[in-house]
Structure 1
């Protein structure tokens, strides 16, 4: 019970971070909730707590462009981690973001992220970020996490595509722009010789109810890349998939 309560508190802190520190430029609030030994993994922000405060101060001074849509925010929490899936308009672009925060004693102590622009068209006809927001089936968190862990290891790391039907629903809803809907769409994408994708290891798996998030590192077209995959499950199968990536080098 105490862990669940802390997860709710951590989610609330992250909501307030976006609202107060990012949107309103409340640097005092940021100083309060960011740990002094904060570790920053975003390549766009200088290291440490002072680097983040500097970035927030810069954003505060920037003119805010007209937004193109209502912001979309999903939060997934497990233990010391909170993941956000976010979509928001910035000028004439729709930004798609995944943030991963690690907490300690009520403060953010580590952060990773990835950001992409929503393309004008996708193979599946779906936006990169939408769908259900609430976390259902909380009693299945452990089982869903174990299923996705095995699925990701076997399919993306070891390329065992023959096991896809064991994990993925035939009518998979796909949000990754280059992949068609359905189990067949995912399999066809992974079978393409032109898709230079290799996953070397899984670094974090965070689950809450019917949602599971995987952070992994590997190569995309010979470039070191961090991958964030978000899966929604129903009745023991993956029924929806989102993804955002961060090219490191």
Structure 2
């Protein structure tokens, strides 16, 4: 088994222990005692994780993981949490990022967003293709997406948007398909007073045709987190998923969102 597959297996075992089997002791064995937590509401360390698991079980929340991608020591899970009223909404879309080292999970970041009943594109926040292909193009695809993030989302050269994509299938619930939908949605957001002045990638994980980027952003003076996943096909971005949330100023630890 490759190092990537081993890392995925470890992270999926932790996710299963925590959110399906609800087994704090099994979860504790898979993380380091000083497990670094970036979820704003969960205390850091193995103790913080163990204390969360009974609350998840009592809430009746369930999880379905749709995509698992990995690169180096990082593993990304793209999931849906249902029966999640205790955590803010009936259903939540989520990206979880885990860092592994020496056979243990050592660090965790995540972003969660309520799933609306109706979306602008008609697509759900987590549906669509899941198969990983084009492993030989991982680095090429990563650089393509990072260029798109810099030029279009970061505002360096938004006029270059068409060169990155010809077909842009959108899963952001508020945006229509296509680059035109992205630009129109961004303008509408700005017209409502939400102006992005910072978009700084912090975590990048690419595997074949999928590229994930977690960015630290400032929107109208407030900190936000944008967790985005793109699918690339034949040198063009063809599909996009994201989970976006405002970053709270007070957290259950001193680790920050990133």
TM-score, length basis structure 2: 0.87
1:120 to 107, 117, 120: 117
Q: What residue is the counterpart of 1:88 in the other structure? A: 81
Q: Does residue 97 of structure 1 match 2:86?
A: no
- Answer whether contact 1:179 1:186 (CA < 8 A) is retained: yes
**Equivalent residue for 1:59?**
56
Aligned to 1:234: 233
Higher RCO, 1 vs 2 (CA within 8 Å, ≥6 residues apart): 2
The count of aligned residue pairs is: 241
Q: State the 1:220 CA deviation.
A: 3.0
2:150 is paired with a residue of what secondary structure? Answer: helix
CA contact 2:34–2:44 (8 Å) conserved in 1? no
Contact 2:32–2:46, Cα closer than 8 Å, also in 1: yes
1:69-218 alignment, distance < 5 Å: 71-90=64-83, 93-169=90-166, 171-192=167-188, 193-194=190-191, 195-218=194-217
Q: Which moved more, 1:138-147 or 1:14-23?
A: 14-23
4+ runs of 1 displaced by more than 3 Å? Answer: none
User: What is the root-mean-square deviation in Å for CA atoms of aligned residues?
Assistant: 1.8
- For the residue of structure 2 that corresponds to 1:176, the secondary structure is coil
Unaligned runs of 5+ in 1: none
Query: Given the superposition, is the C-alpha separation of residues 245 and 63 from structure 1 closer, same or farther in structure 2, using an over 3 Å criterion?
Result: closer
Residue of structure 1 equivalent to 2:2: 5
- Gaps of at least 5 residues in structure 2 are 249-258
**1:190 deviation in Å?**
2.7
Return the offset for 1:123.
1.1
